[in-house]
A and B are shown apart, each in its own frame.
Chain A
Amino acid sequence: MPATVVDIESAIAEISDGASVMIGGFGVPGTPFCLLDELLRQGQKGLTLIKNDANENGMGVDHLLLNGQVDKLIASHIGLNSTAIDMMNRGQLEVELCPQGILAERIRNAGAGLFGFLTDIGIDTILAENKPRFEIDGRELLLEQPLRADFALLHAAKADSYGNLTYAAAAQNFNPLMAMAAEHVIAETEFLTQTGALSPEVIHTPAPFVDRLVYLAKLTGDYNVIRR
């Protein structure tokens, strides 16, 4: 089933209060800032966000946190966003911190239709608390659960109108994994071509994973190089 090209307002309007939402990106590259800004404007509440990081103050996820739209955040590192850390410490935001590769693999696992995996990562640490343990061939391992979401919000460099996506440079990161792991996948794209205009050999995310495409005629300043 090919994706449908829609305007940003109707794409985000499908998200309801209380939804779980995966968000691509590692820092700026691959973060769908325009979709996040529209989610801020529409104001859906009680969201569970799944993202590698919480962006930096003043951009992306930070706006949603400050606007009180987020109940829970599942991430690997939130050190660049003091809003997230403060809200976590004050008990205003539930935060589940995962080792980065385990977060990626939990998402991939769900996307691949599997039901968890065993790993030794973190086994001697506080992150292993409350995780079921299994012994396989004399080796103690942790059970990691798959991570699915109602929605995935992605940022592509190029898409064809069929829904095939490619990502630029280090903007790939969590995007192709999240594309597989959500019920409803919305991708914003900087370039939108006719079906067939992208070489089949360069597609990162094949169209069957993508439900909605939003063409970005213009990028906001959040996508720019950050001059620290």
Chain B
Amino acid sequence: MIQRVAREIRAGMTVNLGIGLPTRVIDYVDHELPVCLHSENGIAGVGPSIGYDEADRNLIDAGGTYVSTQPGTAFFDSAVSFALVRGGRLDLTVLGAFEVAMNGDLANWIIPGLFTPGVGGGMELAQKARRVVIMMNHCDKKGCSKIVRECSLPLTASACVDRIYTELAVIDILAEGLVLREIAEGTTLEQVLAATEAPLQVPENELPTF
């Protein structure tokens, strides 16, 4: 799945990768590709992550990972950092999710009573990145679909998600609803449909695998 998500990243893009699994997407992007990684704590042009012995104590990304600089790196304050996001300069963000609804609503920041850390920069990213893609498990730990008709958890942003990547499938969110685009190798269409609570349109042509 990570390798497939990495193909979202194209030359010249400014990209923010969410905390956790999305951060690892960059490891699967060709190093020669000119991509500008943005981090909420005030970095454009984030360089590769770095071991503790070489780390600069003042240089972490928003997830707390020690990172490096590279030719073209810039540092700035938090207001500039979010001007970049709200101002429409972020081409793509890759985020995790608890739930995604068929209209693109995203819930990924709070589970009332259980998980209440605060939203960080999640709302700005989800609402203002030009393209929002989600990478997540298709179902939660109890086996319930995370692709739902309507989110039960408080929203991060409404109607913001463009595409969902899971271990089973690639699904686009269009005005007419969810459309299945690709299917994981070794997965059947029936498995994908059974794991998806929301209605899923399946094109008539043969689906590519990833």
Contacts and interface: CB of A to CB of B under 8 A. Distances in A.
B79 interface: yes
Contact of B79 (A76, A105, A120, A168): A105
Nearest to A107: B79
B60 A170 contact: yes
Contacts of B59: 29, 169-170
Interface residues of B, number: 44
Nearest to B57: A225
Contacts of B157: 122, 124-125
A173 B78 contact: yes
A101 interface: yes
B121 A101 contact: yes
Interface string B21-64: 00000000000000000011111000000001001111111101
A170 B116 contact: no
Nearest to A105: B79
B14 interface: no
Interface string B60-92: 111010100100000111110111011000000
A48 interface: no
A78 interface: yes
Interface stretch (A5-13, A61-69, A174-182): A174-182
Interface in B166-191: none
A27 B64 CA distance: 7
Contact of B42 (A88, A103, A170, A227): A170
Contacts of A224: 57
A87 interface: no
B78 A88 contact: no
A176 B42 CA distance: 12
A171 interface: yes
B123 interface: yes
B154 interface: yes
A172 interface: yes
Interface string B102-135: 0000000010000011111111100110000000
Interface in A92-108: 97, 99-105, 107-108
B41 A168 contact: no
Interface of B: 39-43, 52, 55-62, 64, 66, 69, 75-79, 81-83, 85-86, 110, 116-124, 127-128, 154-158
Given A30-B58, A104-B82, 13 more contacts: A28-B60, A29-B57, A77-B120, A85-B116, A100-B120, A100-B121, A101-B83, A104-B78, A104-B79, A168-B56, A170-B60, A170-B75, A226-B64
Interface of A: 26-30, 52, 75-80, 85, 88-89, 97, 99-105, 107-108, 119-122, 124-127, 157, 168-177, 204, 223-227
